[in-house]
Structure 1
């Protein structure tokens, strides 16, 4: 674009050879153990001790500070939908950052508008639906919590969530989260949230009446060990909330954006929710979250000044999300997630010590016959695989959606030795 001669010229770009982020951090000058010592001296301990110091990634592989290679079967907890350093996504991010990085929400940008339009299309949202952009899944759920509060009226004060639910760790999202270990240190939390038994349709119907503002549901509970809601539960929830005048809000932060082989895990339920939250895979590794409200009535619940964010929907984040969605659409990524996910689930079910396999697409949980899941995580790291233990007997896999059949086979073939090592560690 030609520049206006009456305007100041833009600052020159950095000259070739400018320092990279890795060089600024002096990566390569310290071992993993030295980095971890520095970590403990400078960062808050809310995550415990990191398992490794990772310095580079490509596709489904990452490398640590000591040069060891790992097959990443966790994908940053379902975030790196296209793996690491995807060339198209990184090029779009770099180009956008070099063009326009941040403008605040006194302004908008073409990427913000285009992404909102794209999400409404992919979500099958009706006319009048709207999008709010945040920076994370927790923030998207916090916005949804406020949306629920706006569905108020005489006596309408309760919000329903499920036992085992995880919706985030800020105060509103934490009130929706069921795990007592997360909740208790920060009570009193925002009031009115009631947790009902997971998957129990009769308990749901009994709980939802005209005192309920909203029902929050994850189609598959990821942090609880990849637990899908029973067939028909979402339809029952839609019927109950519609009858009571309550909102049905679906948390698809972990399950959305192709993770289950569909844009939304709820896509086949035959319902239209009032709102959906997204994040994780949406930015392909770049932080972004979104709240989609469905239809005119719901989109008008939050009006000017009732919610906001400084960074949400910035040009770089929305460009990253547009690039991610384009790559997923154009490169057969969701079909790969369905095919390789089915291959993995079938193979895992035949492994000794595996008692149950759950999930859809490339969000997979499997249970073991002893409390060895944390030991299995450690054994897997030593063997060159990154996995996760959301419970003492449960392993979760949420790899990049580009995981190959050969890479899936590589893990399954290594798993018996990993479990044998874990058994030895706990005996």
Structure 2
């Protein structure tokens, strides 16, 4: 009997796109509607109408995921060798030597770059946003256990004070009752008075410790779009629709890091404790952990390629240390050697309690991420309350290990290349700013994580340029022009759309850099001359 399943889809109806239809339409309107069929190094290829391959130089680099380029032959070989070996990808609840080796290598690199002997433990996940969630959860788990320890210590102190009162060695003092607002008619002597005091202490502490944890981040930050990570992302368009799902973060201005110390002082949490002082029972205040963690990027990616200064890093580290607040450095985009060192934070001397890594860790082939936790902070019990089916799979760990070997090879040649090509690109961008001061506003970044900011064009004479700026898509329109007119691929940063990002691999060539320079110079001429027809391709 013939099936009639296709009757619900008449051939006369147009095919409906079911995967991100609005996004695909938007990409097409800006000139990005091409399918790339082949990639290698910094080059992608798409097919034109005649079926011919058209090469495109890729300076977007998978939003910083391709420090070693598309389909690096050594990484591809490692993937093929693994798959050909028949090794299981998923064998949870067993020894995972590849993941263990990745963890040891990452810890050794951190110890080397930060000049420390303390190890870092690895918690594996599947994406950058998930690595932020891991840091968020581990920091909160650590805070809860620390709070529990404070509560248990206060309970012991109450027991000790109760014994002292019972044995006639101490008596509740009037100031102790005053501290808790116990009125005169409710006060009593001896054991009865103490129990009223103890009940009041427990009730007040329960009220104070019920406040939610306070997580902090920088203005301009981007840490992902999952339930927890989106609360740490500054862009309100991403964050506000989901504000009710998790406690919101407080955002600090990176140009005013002293505000962090002020916030710590203003928001510090205290609980009440009791002490036996001579022959009296006194009530004292003590701190309890209310600050979950401070999250930061030392180079903000989506926020416009903005660097943290060494001075700001020192102030952040001092303030967080004094407040007992752990520091989480998001190295998802800036790490893995992109800035000329494995950790961008090591360049400015910021040592964190947590580091998050992803993107290039998978070599452009695997999806993997790691959260590094400083030894003194690590809670082994976390392994029982946080697990993930696909995290630490053998395939992605094997690929990550090969990526680390390639980055570390030849005494870190990849890091040197990132620095050298970064200096070359920075010099080229700076020269453009000098030649076109009314077009190029700023050049920022380090290594192969660079931003080129254009002046606001919302008042442009050319209607095509003005319309793109006023619609908030100027950077995307510029990127569309570069792709269609020059076969150069890049994108703006998500929260600063007048800034183009450049994050190619270390496999750059002089010809690729020259092509980019020619394309950007032509673009600057078009913007200077307000040639709207050229900007939109006629």
What CA deviation, in whole Å up to 9, does each residue of 1:276-322 have, x standing for no partner? Answer: 00001111112111000011x31117523211111111111111111
**Aligned partners of 2:430, 2:510: CA distance in 1, in Å?**
16
**Aligned partners of 2:218, 2:235: CA distance in 1, in Å?**
10
**Aligned partners of 1:130, 1:355: CA distance in 2, in Å?**
42
Equivalent pair of 2:296/2:329 in contact (CA under 8 Å): yes
Deviates more, 1:280-289 or 1:411-420: 411-420
Corresponding position: 1:392 with 2:379: no
Three-state SS of the structure 2 residue aligned to 1:115 is helix
Corresponding position: 1:83 with 2:69: yes
- Alignment correspondent of 2:152: none
Corresponding position: 1:105 with 2:212: no
**Aligned partners of 2:509, 2:377: CA distance in 1, in Å?**
41
Corresponding position: 1:145 with 2:136: yes
- Alignment correspondent of 2:20: 44
Aligned runs of 1:202-241 on 2, under 5 Å? 202-209=258-265, 210=268, 211-241=290-320
User: Which one of the candidate residues 334, 353, 360 is aligned to 2:446?
Assistant: 360
TM-score, normalised via structure 1 length? 0.86
**Shift of residue 46 of structure 1?**
6.9
Deviates more, 1:79-88 or 1:92-101: 92-101
**Shift of residue 132 of structure 1?**
0.7
Larger radius of gyration: 2
Corresponding position: 1:288 with 2:397: no
Please state which structure has a larger fraction of its residues in helix.
2
**Aligned partners of 1:420, 1:387: CA distance in 2, in Å?**
19
TM-score, normalised via structure 2 length? 0.69
Aligned runs of 1:97-176 on 2, under 5 Å? 97-99=83-85, 100-124=87-111, 126-150=117-141, 151-152=143-144, 153=147, 154=209, 157-176=213-232
Corresponding position: 1:348 with 2:429: yes
- Alignment correspondent of 2:401: 322
Three-state SS of the structure 2 residue aligned to 1:42 is coil
**Shift of residue 370 of structure 1?**
3.3
- Alignment correspondent of 2:55: 69
- Alignment correspondent of 2:191: none
- Alignment correspondent of 2:338: 259
Unaligned stretches of 5+ residues in structure 1? 1-36
**Aligned partners of 1:46, 1:292: CA distance in 2, in Å?**
37
**Aligned partners of 2:253, 2:90: CA distance in 1, in Å?**
44
What CA deviation, in whole Å up to 9, does each residue of 1:140-185 have, x standing for no partner? Answer: 0010111221223346710111111100011001011111111122
- Alignment correspondent of 1:414: 519
- Alignment correspondent of 2:274: none
- Alignment correspondent of 2:280: none
**Aligned partners of 2:508, 2:46: CA distance in 1, in Å?**
20
Equivalent pair of 1:61/1:71 in contact (CA under 8 Å): yes
Three-state SS of the structure 1 residue aligned to 2:344 is coil
**Shift of residue 123 of structure 1?**
1.4
Corresponding pairs, count: 389
**Aligned partners of 2:125, 2:301: CA distance in 1, in Å?**
21
Equivalent pair of 1:213/1:245 in contact (CA under 8 Å): no
* Cα gap change, 1:216 to 1:53, in 2 (>3 Å): same
- Alignment correspondent of 1:369: 455
Unaligned stretches of 5+ residues in structure 2? 1-13, 148-208, 269-289, 458-473
Deviates more, 1:309-318 or 1:417-426: 417-426
Equivalent pair of 2:354/2:371 in contact (CA under 8 Å): yes
**Shift of residue 229 of structure 1?**
1.0
What CA deviation, in whole Å up to 9, does each residue of 1:307-354 have, x standing for no partner? Answer: 111111111111111111111222521111101111101111111222
**Shift of residue 393 of structure 1?**
1.7
**Aligned partners of 1:357, 1:270: CA distance in 2, in Å?**
23
